[in-house]
Amino acid sequence: MPDLFDELQRAIEAEPLDTEEAIDRFRIRYLSRKQGRITELLKQIPTVAPEERKAFGQRVNRLKKLVEARIEAARERLRRSRTVARPEIDLTLPGRRPLPGSTHPLTQTLEDIKRVFTSYGFSIAEGPEIEDDWHNFTALNFPPDHPARDMQDTFFLEPPEREHGGILLRTHTSPVQIRIMESEPPPYRVIVPGRVYRNEAISYKSYCLFHQVEGLCVDEGVTLGDLKQILHAFARALFGEDVKMRFRPSFFPFTEPSAEVDIWWPDPALPNGGKWLEILGCGMVDPNVFEAVGVDPERYTGYAFGMGIERIAMLRYDIGDIRTFYENDVRFLAQF
């Protein structure tokens, strides 16, 4: 048996370990759990005669430590050989001016929108992007069989047939308004910015995700005139003091009456010198929504509005394709 240990020791010391591949082969040959030569010797210990077992085990361990020491030394030698001396820094050379980044146009637009509404006393709230059916639909006056649900193609994470109506990626930020009204009593004056998701065909004007800002104001005596006033102030702040704005009747399950808001976009190339462009939807909060969250509709009234940030940014910066916002083309982003 001693001859075997001496022979193994000579083989271990003679093995050239000048590359990572050689080191790895060496490790497998001697320390592999399945076929390593040292491992095989360790497995033989229980079969050695009791009076020789201690000496046998000590010699096996010395060989194992020798293998591990050679591996560690070889790896350290390779690390040192790869280290290249760094050139000294010439402090007399002019420095490199860092290239400044820019704020994404969606972020710029969102910050401008928030600045307008916070100046009128609105606070900012956020909520989860993964919602349940109650907050995303039912509490907003979407009954289970209501055709208005078809207006928003939904990404369901759990099937809508479940008892709770399913878990989904929110299709608008209005669920946060429901959570606010559930958690505290009126009055409310809040905007809710955030990302929303809809299962739509991707094109120049639609994408599977986009950003919205919802607004909610609830108090005693809130009127449609208050809604028109705040939206006109918003349009003037974003599009200029001379902006022309109009309200068109529309339908949303959670507001009654409902309207869509257009602004006049001048364009000399068009026959009429411009065109009307929709920027948001709005209306007075439906009493059914108040009842769903425990707010007295006989005492309180309120208005709500919602706008797509991408839509506003496309108008402000004359961008013709919504997909441009998500392509991260530096040539596009550098313009902002």
Give the confidence band of 9 by pLDDT, cuts at 50, 70, 90: confident
Cα separation, 320 vs 107, in Å, equals: 18
What architecture does CATH give domain 105-333?
Answer: 2-Layer Sandwich (3.30)
Which stretches of the chain are assigned E, i.e. beta strand? 123-124, 130-132, 167-169, 188-197, 209-219, 245-252, 255-266, 274-285, 301-308
- From the list 306, 281, 280, 311, the residue with the least C-alpha distance to 177 is 306
Helix axes 309-317 and 105-118, enclosed angle (nearest 10): 110
DSSP letters for 282-333? EEEEPHHHHHHHT--TTT-EEEEEEEEHHHHHHHHHT---GGGGGS--HHHH
CB 129 within 8 A of CB 157: no
Q: Distance between CA 254 and CA 261 in Å, rounded?
A: 17
Task: Give DSSP secondary structure letters for 25-59.
Answer: HHHHHHH-TTT-HHHHHHHHGGGS-HHHHHHHHHH
Q: What is the number of other CB atoms lying within 10 angstroms of the CB of residue 108?
A: 16
pLDDT of residue 175: 94
Angle between helices 2-14 and 50-82 in degrees, nearest 10: 0
State residue 291's pLDDT score.
95
Residue written as token pair 């979407």:
142
By three-state DSSP, how is residue 190 classified? strand
Contacts of 125 (CB under 8 A, 6+ apart): 176, 180, 190, 191, 192
Q: Long-range contacts of range 131-134, CB-CB < 8 Å, 24 or more positions apart?
A: 131/167, 131/168, 131/169, 131/170, 131/175, 132/164, 132/165, 132/166, 132/167, 132/168, 133/160, 133/164, 133/165, 133/166, 133/167, 133/168, 134/164, 134/165
Tokens representing residue 323 in the block: 């997909």
pLDDT computed for residue 3 by the predictor: 66
pLDDT grade for 267, boundaries at 50, 70 and 90: confident
Dump pLDDT digits (tens) for 200-230: 888 888 888 999 999 999 999 999 999 999 9
Percent of the chain with pLDDT over 70: 94
Please provide residue 133's backbone torsions phi and psi, each rounded to the nearest 5 degrees: -60, -35
Q: Roughly what angle, to the nearest 10 degrees, separates helices 20-31 and 50-82? A: 170
Question: Is the pLDDT higher at 148 or at 333?
Answer: 333
What is the domain partition of the chain in residue ranges? 2-82, 105-333
Identify whether the C-beta of residue 331 lies closer than 8 Å to the C-beta of residue 102.
Answer: no
In the predicted model, is pLDDT for residue 288 greater than 50? Answer: yes
Question: What is d(CA 182, CA 185) in angstroms, rounded to the nearest whole number?
Answer: 8
Q: How far apart are CA 125 and CA 49, in angstroms?
A: 77
Question: For residues 38 and 25, what is the distance between their CA atoms, to the nearest angstrom?
Answer: 14
Most confident of 25-29, 41-45, 199-203, 279-283: 279-283
Mean pLDDT, to the nearest integer, of 289-304? 95
Q: Mean of the pLDDT values across residues 289-312?
A: 95
Evaluate if residue 302 carries a pLDDT over 90.
yes
For residue 161, pLDDT over 80 is answered with no
- If you average pLDDT over residues 17-46, what whole number do you get? 84
Edge-to-edge strands, sheet with 245-252: 123-124, 188-197, 209-219, 301-308, 274-285, 255-266, 245-252
Quick one: pLDDT band at residue 303, thresholds 50, 70, 90? Answer: very high
What's the average model confidence in pLDDT over 179-200? 93
**Average pLDDT estimate for 83-95:** 73
pLDDT band at 128; cut points 50, 70, 90: very high
With a cut of 60, say whether residue 1 has pLDDT above it. Answer: no
CB neighbours of residue 299 within 10 Å: 11
Judged by average pLDDT, the poorest of 156-160, 237-241, 305-309 is 156-160
Where does residue 269 rank: exposed (0-12), middle (13-18), buried (19+ CB within 10 A)?
A: exposed
pLDDT value for 166: 81
